[in-house]
Structure 1
Amino acid sequence: MNFVKRAGTSLGARKSKTAALLAIFLVICALLLGGFLLQAAAARQETGARRTVGVDVTVRKEGLTPALADRLGRSALVHRYNAEIRARAGAQGITPLTSKAPEPDAAEEQAKGELAVNGVRDSDMLLPFSYGSAKLTAGRGITPEDAGRDVAVIEQRLADKNRLKAGDTLQLRSADGKHTTAVTVVGIYRDPAREPTMWVAPRELPGNTLYVPAGTAQKLSAGTATVSEAVYKIGSPDRARQLHAETERLLGKDGFEFRVNDKAYKDQVLPVQRVGAFAGLLVWVIALAGALVLGLIVMLQIRERRSELGVLLAMGEKKWKLIGQHVVEVAAVALPAVALAALAGSVAGQPAGDAFLGRQDDKPASAARTPDAGIAPPTVRVEAADVGKVAGIALGISLVSTVIPGIGILRLHPRSILTDSA
C-alpha cells in the first residue's frame, strides 16, 4: 500500500489521537501566528511613531541663515523641520492691540513694529501648537507648501478687534518703514496667554503675534534676516550623532548649539520596540517548544505502534517509507491547524494587538503633554506572508518532530519487534 494512503487510513482509524494532535498543533500555530502579527503590528506602529513622535533636535547659531537651515533640513536623516525667523512689522489698515495698563511717562514711542512676526516653515512643529496650548480656531497653519506665498496666521483677539477672518487681506509694513507687503489670512489661532497686568509695548502682547512663511518674514526684516532656531525631527536618538556630524560639516565645529529632546521617543517608541522584540522571542520559543512536545508525542506513538511497524517491515516495507508515513500524518494535521489559526487570528488579532500595544486614547496623561504625542493605534491584519511563515514553521516542526524520533525505526528489526511484542 502507498505510505501516503496508509497515513490517511491511520489518521481515520485513530480519530481521538488525531483530534488531540490537531488541538496541540492549533495551539502552536495560533501562538506562532500571534507572534508574527504582533511583530508586524509593532513594526508598523514604530515606523509611524518615528515620524510623528521621533526626536527633536534644536540647532542655534548666531548668524544662521535660512539657506543653511534649509540645507541641513534636506538631509536624508530629517523627516521634517522648521526654521524660525523673528521680525517686527507695522500695521497698515488695521489697529493692533494695545496694553490696557496705563502707559508710563518714560515709555518710548513704539510707532514702528507694533506686531511681532514669526517666520516659520511648518507651524505645527512650534511648541505652542505641538503641545496644544495654542489652537487653530479657523483656517489652517503655515505649511512647507506656503514657501513663496505671502500668507499669515493671526491671533483671535487681533482678528476680533479688526473683524478679520480667513481669506481677508491685510497690509504689513516692514520694520524700517520702507515698503509694505500684502498678506492673506489663512488661519486664526487662540493663544491662552493672558495680557500682562503691567504696560508693555504692543509687539509684546500675545495677541499681536503673527505667523508667516519665512520668505515673508525676510521681506519685513530690516537688514539680513537670520534664523533664531531650527528644529529638526529625526527617527531615533542614534541618528542624532549622524546629524551632529552633518551640522559640523555645514556650520563648522564650534559656535553652534545642538540640543536633543528624546523624552517623547523614550516614553512611547521604546515600549513598542520592546513588544516587537518580545514577539520575536516568542516565535522562537514556541517553535522550539512545539518541536520538542510533538517529538515526544511521536516517539510515544512509535513505541505504541511497534507491532504495526514490525508487521510492515516483515512484509518488506522500506524503513524510509515508515518514517515518511509519520511525516505525512503529522503534516496532514498541521495544515488544517494553520488554516484554523489564520481564521482565529483574523478575529482575535486586533483585540490582542490593542492589549499589547495599546491605543492612542489609552496613553497616560503625561504623554498627552508631550509634543506630537499621538501614536497611531496598532493595525493588526492577517497577511499571506505571515500565514506562509506559520505554515513553513509548522511543516518544519512536523519534519523535525518525526524524523528525529524516526531514526529509531532505522535500527528496528522485524524479528526482534515481533518477538518482544509476543
Structure 2
Amino acid sequence: MNFFKRAWLYLTAKKGKTAILILVFTAIMVFVLTGLTIRQAANQATENAKKEVGASVTLTTDREKLMKKAMTTASSDGSPVRIKETPVPLSQAEAVSKMSDVKNFSFSTSASAAASTGITPVTGSDDTSSTDTSNQKEIPGRIANVGGETSKSTIAMNPDFRLTGVNDLLSLPTFQDGTAKITSGRAITEKDQGTNNVVVESQLATANNLKVGSTFKLKDEDGEEHDLKVVGIYKTTQVADSMAQRMRTMNPANTIYTYYTLANSFKEGATDTSEQTVDSAIYYLKDPAQMATFVTTASKKLDTDTMTLSTNDQAYQQMLTPLNNVASFATNVVLLVAAAGVIILSLIVILSIRERKFEIGVLMSLGENKAKIIGQFFVELFVIMVVSVGLASVTGNFIGNAVGNQLLSQQNTTQQEQAKSTTETQRGHGRLGNIGGPFVANQETAKQIDHMNVKMTSKTIGLLSALALGIVFIAIFVASIGILRLTPKTILTNN
C-alpha cells in the first residue's frame, strides 16, 4: 500500500483529529490572509493617492546663498551687507515646466502700482470698504496725492496696490483651499497673455463701482499709466491686520491679479525688451514618489548659484501616514501568525507522531522507507492545508474589510489628534498667523482616505498558498527529526 493511500485512510478514519487540525490550520490561514489582503489594499490605496493628491516643487531665489555671498563681499571690502535680488528667469522656469514629470505649473510675480483714474484703494479706516477720494489731504496710512500727481518715489515708498501676476489664478493655494474664490466673471488663465485683463477683490470693486467689463488706469513703478480691464471679481476671507491698515498693499482687498507678463511691465525699469522673470514657479508633479528624482534632474536646467528648488509633499505624506501604518501592522501580523503557525503545527505533528509510534514501528519493520513515512505525514497535512486555504478564502474579504477599515479609522483618529495638538502648540507659541500671502497656504491639508477596498486576488491566494506550504514543510521537517532517529526494535520494545 503506498503512502498516499495510507494518508487518506488515516484522515478518513480519524475524523475528529482531522477536523481539529482543519480548524486550527484554517484559523491560522484566516489571520495570514487578513494580513495579506489588508496590506495589498493599503498598497493599492497608496497608489491611488498618488493620482489624487500631488506634491509641489517651488523654484525661487536662493536667499541663503545670496546672503552668504553678500556677507563675504562685505567682509572683504568693509562695505555694508547688501543682498541683490535675482528674479527667476522665465526661460529657465519654462524649461523645467516642460519636463514629463510636471502635471501642472503656476508662475507668479508681483509689482507695485498707484491709483490713477477710475480707482482708489481700500484704506485702513474704521470702515475697511471706504476709499480715499480726496487728492488734497493726507489720510492716515497714505501719502498725500497733491494735485493728483503721483511721483515715482511715492509709488516706490507707499504704493496703493499689489499687482500679482499669475498664469493660472485658480491654482494659487488661497483659491485651492477656499480662502479666496471667484464671485463674478472668470479667473486669469493662459489666454490672458498679452492682454490688460485683471481680477479685483469684491471690496475694491464695490467701493469703486467696478463690474466685469469696467476699465480703470494704474501707474507703474516708473509712473507710467496703464489701461486695465476687469474680467473677474473675487472675494477673500483674509482680513487686514494692523500693519495692513497702515500699508495699503498689504490689505488683501488691494491685491489685483493679472497675467504675469503684464505684472512684469509694472516693475521699475521694465521695457519691452526686458528679460521676462517670475518671483516664483510652482510645479505640481504627477507622481509625488518621484520628487527627489525630479529635483535632481530639474537642477541641471537651472542656475543653482542663485536659485533653489524647495519640495512640499506634506499633503501626500499626510494622506499616506495612516495607510503606511496599517500596511506595516498587516505585515507584522502575517509574520507573527506565520511563525506561530509553524510552532503550533509542529507541536501538533510531534504529538501526533508520538501517539503513532507503534504504527511507525510496524511500517519500518515491514521494510517501509523512512522517507515514505515522512511523506505520508506530509500528504496528510497537505490535504488539511488545501481545505483550510479554501475555507479561509471564503471569509477573507469579509474579515479583511472589517479589520482593515477599523484599523484605518483608528489610525486616522490618532493622526487627527496629533495634528490638532501640534496646531494648538504652534498657536500657543505664536507661530501661526495670517502670514501666508497669496502664494502659500496657511495650512496645507489633505482629505484623508477613510476606506479601503479589501479584495482578494489570484495573487493573494497564491501567496497565501505558498506561505501555507512553507508552514507545512517546516512543521514536517521539525517533526521528522524524531522519526529519523527511531528503529523498529526500539519502537516495538518500548510499546
Q: Is TM (by shorter chain) over 0.5?
A: yes
1:325 aligns to 2:325 (yes or no):
no
Residue matched to 2:278: 227
- 1:379 corresponds to: 452
Q: Which moved more, 1:261-270 or 1:395-404?
A: 261-270
Partner of 2:96: 72
1:371 Cα deviation from its structure 2 partner:
0.7
Among candidates 329, 332, 350, match of residue 401 of structure 2: 350
Q: For residues 251 and 114 of structure 2, what CA distance do their matches in structure 1 show? A: 14
CA–CA separation in structure 1 for the residues paired with 2:170 and 2:444: 10
Aligned to 2:144: 107
* Counterpart contact for 2:38–2:401, Cα < 8 Å: no
- Give the aligned residue type for 1:67: S
Check conservation: 1:195, 1:206, Cα contact below 8 A: no
Shift of 1:329: 1.8
Partners in 2 of 1:134 and 1:9 — Cα distance?
75
Using structure 1 for the length normalisation, give the TM-score: 0.76
Bigger Rg over Cα: 2
CA shift for structure 1 position 246: 4.4
Matched with 2:462 is 388
- Give secondary structure in 2 for the equivalent of 1:107: coil
Q: Deviations over 1:11-32 (max 9, x none)?
A: 2332332232223222322222
Match of 1:192 among 238, 244, 250: 238
Whether 1:17 and 2:17 are equivalent positions in the alignment is yes
1:395 shift after superposition? 1.5
- More moved, 259-268 vs 288-297: 259-268
C-alpha deviation, 1:227, in angstroms: 1.3
Q: Structure 2-normalised TM-score? A: 0.66
1:394-421, Cα deviation, whole Å (9 max, x unpaired): 1121122113422443444444433322
Shift of 1:118: 2.9
1:399 aligns to what? 473
Contact 2:113 2:219 survives alignment (8 Å): yes
Q: 8 Å contact 2:346–2:476 — kept in the other structure?
A: yes
User: 1:159, 1:188 within 8 Å by CA — same for their partners in 2?
Assistant: no
Residue 280 (structure 1) aligned to one of 316, 331, 348: 331
Give the distance between the partners of 1:15 and 1:216, measured in 2 at CA.
86
Aligned-partner Cα distance in 2 for 1:139–1:35? 52
Structure 2 runs not aligned, ≥5 long: 63-85, 124-129, 424-441
Which amino acid letter does the alignment assign opposite residue 338 of structure 1? V
What letter is aligned with 1:382? Answer: K
8 Å CA contact retained: 1:60, 1:230:
no
- Distance, in Å, in 2 between the alignment partners of 1:154 and 1:340 is 66
Distance verdict in 2 for CA 1:358–1:321, change over 3 Å: same
Query: What is the identity, as a one-letter code, of the residue corresponding to 2:396?
Result: G
Instruction: Write the letter of the residue equivalent to 2:91.
Output: A
Q: Distance in 2 between matches of 1:378 and 1:328?
A: 41
CA distance in 2, matches of 1:59, 1:312: 82
- SS of the equivalent of 1:343 reads helix
The alignment partner of 1:358 has SS state of helix
Offset at residue 332 of structure 1 (A): 1.9
Is residue 350–residue 380 contact of structure 1 (8 Å, CA) maintained in 2?
yes
Deviation by residue 1:368-398 (Cα, 9 ceiling, x = unmatched)? 9731332323524223112221111011211
Answer whether contact 1:93 1:170 (CA < 8 A) is retained.
Answer: no
Distance 2:161 2:55 in 1: 33
Structure 2 counterpart of 1:119:
165
8 Å contact from structure 1 (residues 32, 287) kept in 2: yes
1:118-137 matches, within 5 Å, as 118-121=164-167, 123=169, 126-129=172-175, 132=177, 134-136=179-181
1:147 alignment counterpart = 190
Q: Distance in 1 between matches of 2:213 and 2:364?
A: 96
The 1:193/1:44 distance shift into structure 2, 3 A limit, reads: farther
Query: Match of 2:87, SS?
Result: coil
Structure-2 separation of matches of 1:169 and 1:315: 105
Q: How far is the alpha carbon of 1:44 from its aligned partner?
A: 3.5
The one-letter amino acid of 1:147's match is E
Matched, 1:297 2:340: no
Q: Give yes or no for contact 2:117–2:217 (8 Å, CA) kept in 1.
A: no
Change beyond 3 A, Cα 1:175–1:163: closer
Q: Measured at CA, do residues 27 and 191 of structure 1 come closer, stay the same or move farther in structure 2, by a change above 3 Å?
A: same
Two-structure CA RMSD over aligned residues (Å): 4.4
Q: Percent identity?
A: 27
* Residue 319 of structure 1, CA deviation: 3.3
| Equivalent pair of 1:173/1:220 in contact (CA under 8 Å) | no
- 1 CA distance for matches of 2:336 and 2:372? 31
- Structure 1 partner of 2:388: 337
SS at match of 1:118: strand
Give me the whole-angstrom Cα distance separating, in 1, the residues matched to 2:354 and 2:185. 75
Report deviation, 1:120.
3.2
